[in-house]
């Protein structure tokens, strides 16, 4: 009789002051459903997705994976990450403290049989809610937006200070929601170009439009970007990767950095042996090496030749040469840009110069 009239046994904790609300809808196996619900009263809420018991389908039936990600709607079409879960079970739930406002629930069920089936979403908490289906066009890139918000508050955010830019940050995370992400936050004045290479990529793959075992992305100044990954729930997840990052700086930015952070070398008059007000600033940065000369004298000229031994670098203005010769008049400046051609590079150089009156 039990098997005939009941599907399972649950022992629940009942909250006398909680309200239960539910909504039945059809879940497409290939496309996510977006549901909007409104929280009127701040407090603790459970959000649950139920699929039919396996006893409706036969003894060999397996529950399908459920992806549930909840985001709070913010001004200007943005979202705050709230909760998420991925699980293959009859009842999949998450909970959290929700503030009054409008929320979006992302639900996707890639059914085992490839067909569409009904599921029920419910909330149990401090107030009743009502649900409405929202077109994808309304929420836009919902997943990218909620995980970008999650990335902003990730305690693992790490700067690119080692690459010469302390005002740009990145982090990565594999969540329990069935998704992972690589988040980039460029607060600097230079464009960030970075490439991620996966050495080990088990149980995880890049989410479209990205594919393969690497990706490259450019993040403009004062902008954020994110690349999502998708987790295979039936495999152990392991990812090991390396990153090659560079910052596209213009001459004014390089000059400022060279004078602030570069190695500073002063020229000496070959006849008098006195140091003169002519300087060379050498800066190694994420995209190569930069030389900046300035002649602050009123009546002296620098005649100099720099010979390079380069590996993984080239002279930007003359890629097939290995030396630069120039004359720097009083009040003049000169820059030499060495651009990297390989991820790993090295440099050696020698100088020969004369100070002319």
pTM, entire model:
0.82
pLDDT tier at 120 (50, 70, 90 boundaries)? very high
Q: How far apart are CA 43 and CA 125, in angstroms?
A: 7
Quote the percentage of the chain above a pLDDT of 90.
87
Q: Which segment of 102-111, 158-167, 234-243, 296-305 scores lowest on mean pLDDT?
A: 158-167
**Strands in 99-237 per DSSP E:** 101-108, 117-125, 131-133, 158-160, 165-174, 179-186, 191-202, 204-206, 214-219, 223-231
The pLDDT, as a whole number, for residue 4 is 67
Distances (CA, A) of 65 to 84, 203, 209, 232, 339: 13, 15, 22, 10, 49
Q: How far apart are CA 172 and CA 266, in angstroms?
A: 44
**pLDDT, tens digit, 9 for 90 and up, residues 232-266:** 999 999 999 999 898 989 899 999 999 999 999 99
Nearest to 166 by CA among 276, 68, 268, 261: 261
Q: Are 266 and 239 in contact (CB under 8 A)?
A: no
The pLDDT, as a whole number, for residue 96 is 93
Q: How far apart are CA 310 and CA 321, in angstroms?
A: 10
pLDDT of 9 > 90? The answer is: no
Alpha helix (H) residue ranges in the chain = 2-5, 136-139, 142-152, 251-261
CA 3, distance to chain mean position in Å, is: 50
The pLDDT, as a whole number, for residue 27 is 97
The pLDDT, as a whole number, for residue 7 is 65
Neighbours of 348 (CB within 10 A): 9
Nearest to 170 by CA among 86, 70, 242, 249: 242
pLDDT tier at 10 (50, 70, 90 boundaries)? confident
Q: Are 335 and 292 in contact (CB under 8 A)?
A: yes
- The label of the residue with tokens 């407090």 reads 43
Q: What tokens appear for 42 in the block?
A: 């701040």
Q: For 13, left (φ over 0), alpha (ψ -120 to 50), or beta?
A: beta
Q: How far apart are CA 107 and CA 104, in angstroms?
A: 10
Q: What tokens appear for 12 in the block?
A: 């629940």
- The label of the residue with tokens 């820059």 reads 335
- In DSSP terms, 88 is beta-bridged to 65
pLDDT tier at 61 (50, 70, 90 boundaries)? confident
pLDDT tier at 342 (50, 70, 90 boundaries)? confident
pLDDT, average across residues 165-186: 96
Max intra-chain CA distance, the chain: 110
**pLDDT, tens digit, 9 for 90 and up, residues 255-302:** 999 999 999 999 999 999 999 999 999 999 988 999 999 999 999 999
Q: How far apart are CA 198 and CA 239, in angstroms?
A: 7
Sheet with 323-328, strands from edge to edge, namely 323-328, 301-311, 346-356
Q: What tokens appear for 36 in the block?
A: 């909007």
Q: What is the CA radius of gyration of the chain?
A: 30
């Amino acid at each position: 009789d039990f098997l005939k009239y009941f599907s399972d046994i649950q022992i629940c904790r009942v909250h006398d002051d909680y309200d239960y609300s539910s909504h039945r809808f059809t879940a497409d196996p290939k496309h996510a459903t977006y549901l909007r619900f409104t929280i009127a009263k701040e407090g603790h809420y459970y959000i649950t997705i139920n699929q039919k018991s396996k006893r409706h389908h036969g003894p060999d039936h397996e529950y399908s994976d459920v992806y549930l990600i909840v985001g709070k709607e913010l001004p200007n079409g943005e979202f705050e990450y709230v909760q998420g879960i991925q699980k293959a079970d009859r009842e999949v739930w998450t909970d959290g403290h929700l503030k009054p406002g409008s929320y979006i629930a992302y639900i996707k069920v890639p059914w085992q049989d490839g067909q569409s089936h009904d599921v029920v979403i419910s909330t149990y908490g401090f107030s009743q809610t009502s649900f409405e289906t929202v077109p994808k066009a309304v929420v836009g890139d919902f997943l990218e937006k909620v995980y970008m918000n999650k990335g902003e508050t990730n305690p693992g955010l790490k700067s690119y200070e080692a690459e010469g830019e302390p005002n740009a940050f990145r982090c990565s995370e594999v969540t329990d929601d069935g998704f992972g992400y690589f988040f980039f936050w460029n607060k600097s004045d230079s464009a960030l170009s970075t490439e991620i290479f996966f050495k080990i990529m088990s149980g995880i793959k890049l989410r479209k439009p990205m594919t393969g075992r690497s990706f490259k992305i450019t993040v403009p100044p004062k902008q954020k970007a994110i690349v999502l990954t998708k987790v295979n729930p039936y495999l152990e997840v392991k990812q090991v990767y390396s990153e090659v990052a560079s910052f596209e700086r213009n001459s004014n930015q390089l000059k400022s950095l060279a004078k602030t952070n570069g190695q500073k070398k002063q020229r000496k008059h070959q006849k008098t042996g006195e140091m003169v007000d002519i300087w060379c600033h050498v800066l190694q940065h994420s995209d190569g090496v930069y030389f900046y000369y300035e002649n602050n004298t009123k009546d002296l000229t620098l005649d100099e030749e720099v010979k390079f031994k380069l590996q993984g670098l080239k002279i930007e203005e003359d890629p097939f040469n290995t030396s630069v010769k120039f004359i720097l008049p009083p009040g003049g400046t000169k820059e030499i840009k060495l651009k990297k051609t390989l991820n790993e590079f090295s440099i050696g150089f020698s100088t020969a110069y004369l100070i002319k009156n």
